[in-house]
Amino acid sequence: MTITSEQHELIHHVESNVDAAFTWDYERSRDSLVRLYEKAKTSQWNVTTDLPWETDVDPEKVAAELSMGTTARFQTLGELPGSPVRHFGDKEWLRVGVEIQNSLLSQFLHGEQGALLCTARIVETVPWIDAKYYAATQVMDEARHVEVFARYLDEKLSSQYRINPNLKSLLDDILGDPRWDITYLGMQIMVEGLALAAFGLMRHITTEPLLQQLLRYVMSDEARHVAFGVLSLQEFYAGLSHAELRERQEFAFDAACRLQQRFMQGEVWERMDIDPLAIKKLLDDNPTPEQQMFQSMLFSKIVPNVKKLGLLDAADGWLRERFTEIGVIQFEDWIDTGEEYAALDEVAKDRAAV
């Protein structure tokens, strides 16, 4: 079969030299992972049959709702002297809302494929049988998430976006690193943790019933996934040296910064024929309360989970200082997902009510 140049652009390879780990120890010795695995087996849902796909969706109405939490943080930039969006009126801002909505859901889609590959990697590399069992259930979860976001974008919204460069580079680094715990830290704690917060914010804002239920089910899965990362890495990180922990802290902070940049929506401004660097400079020079609140809330799941792993105060508190500098340390005592996932298991609740 001949592969065209266009197909080449749709297929992205990441080189990695990873050792597969067999274990001949089949004893179920990690009770917390056993419970998580049992929960996962009873919480599966079907994209085709469990969601109301007959729902009519108005992309502009959805965008208008989401503008309260997404577009609003950019609209005040239009009032600044020399702003490239100073000429925008209601029509242009509505289009920005539609494009941001499509971009956000597209990046969720791409991130879920990253999670699909990472979790398959965890099955292969993690040395504990209980973790292999649970990770195998997450592979199915992630395939379902890719399916559901792709279908919603294709059937209900107007367009898709290619992967954001910041997200793409982070996924490349996670998959390119041969250390199994970095796959956990990068995907389960950082990417999935931020996604869980973003899903929660979007679900709180939108009244579109299909999107609400879709996000509700995905959040149920994601909470278990983040809990899986927390429960697994706690044991491993307890045995690492000061230098090894600092490496993980630096990786986590770099990942946080790149994930934060992902929400600058550079790809949206390019589609609107606006220089994304000019928008970024305006935001940096004129931080708005809406932008600051939006960016900080994205860390509401990451910071408490990193603290539970011991990374916040390890290595002389280096990561605590960094999170303090970017204004997100206030989330350190929020509930961590290792304790929260059962409360978010909406699928199991629905089935119990039937």
Output the tens digit of pLDDT for each of the chain's 354 residues.
344 444 447 889 988 889 999 999 999 999 999 999 999 999 999 999 999 999 999 988 888 787 655 677 788 878 888 889 988 888 888 888 889 889 989 999 999 999 999 999 999 999 999 999 999 999 999 999 999 999 999 999 978 899 999 999 999 999 999 999 999 999 999 998 888 888 888 888 889 999 999 999 999 999 899 889 888 998 899 999 999 999 999 999 999 888 887 777 889 999 999 999 998 888 888 876 766 777 777 788 889 989 999 999 998 999 999 999 988 899 998 876 656 656 666 555 565 444
Residue 80 has a CB neighbour count (10 Å cut-off) of 13
| Residues spanned by the domain of 215 | 40-353
CA distance 192 to 200: 12
Q: What are phi and psi of 256, to 5 degrees?
A: -60, -40
Is 257 part of any domain?
A: yes
Tokens linked to 279 = 């928008």
Amino acid identity of residue 42, one-letter, is T
Longest dimension (CA), the chain: 67
| Residue 6 domain-assigned (yes or no) | no
Structural domain includes residue 29:
no
CA angle 11-14-20, nearest 5°?
125
Side chain identity at residue 344, one-letter code: L
**CA–CA distance, 85 with 272 (Å, rounded to integer):** 10
Confirm whether 18 is domain-assigned.
no
| Cβ atoms of 322 and 315 closer than 8 Å | no
Report the 3 state secondary structure along the chain: CCCCHHHHHHCCCCCCCCCCCCCCCCCCCCHHHHHHHHHHHCCCCCCCCCCCCCCCCCHHHHHHHHCCCCCHHHHHHHHCCCCCCCCCCHHHHHHHHHHHHHHHHHHHHHHHHHHHHHHHHHHHHCCCHHHHHHHHHHHHHHHHHHHHHHHHHHHHCCCCCCCCHHHHHHHHHHHHCCCHHHHHHHHHHHHHHHHHHHHHHHHHHCCCHHHHHHHHHHHHHHHHHHHHHHHHHHHHHCCCCHHHHHHHHHHHHHHHHHHHHHCCCHHHHHHCCCCHHHHHHHHHHCCCHHHHHHHHHCCCCHHHHHHHCCCCCHHHHHHHHHHHHCCCHHHCCCCCHHHHCCCCCHHHHHHHHC
Burial of 353 (0-12, 13-18, 19+ CB in 10 A): exposed
Q: What is the pLDDT of residue 112?
A: 96
In whole angstroms, what separates CA 141 from the centre of its chain? 14
Q: What does the pLDDT read at residue 354?
A: 41
> Looking at the domain assignment, is residue 9 inside a domain?
no
Rounded CA separation 313/321 (Å) = 9
Number of domains forming the structure of the chain: 1
67 inside domain = yes
Whether residue 15 lies inside any domain: the answer is no
Task: Report the Cα 245 to chain-centroid distance in Å.
Answer: 23
- For CA atoms 308, 310, 311, 317, the dihedral sign is positive
In a domain, 218, yes or no: yes
The domain spanning residue 332 has which CATH number? 1.20.1260.10
Distances (CA, A) of 97 to 59, 154, 177, 198, 273: 9, 18, 36, 16, 15
Residues 43, 49, 55, 57: what is their CA dihedral angle, to the nearest 10 degrees? 70
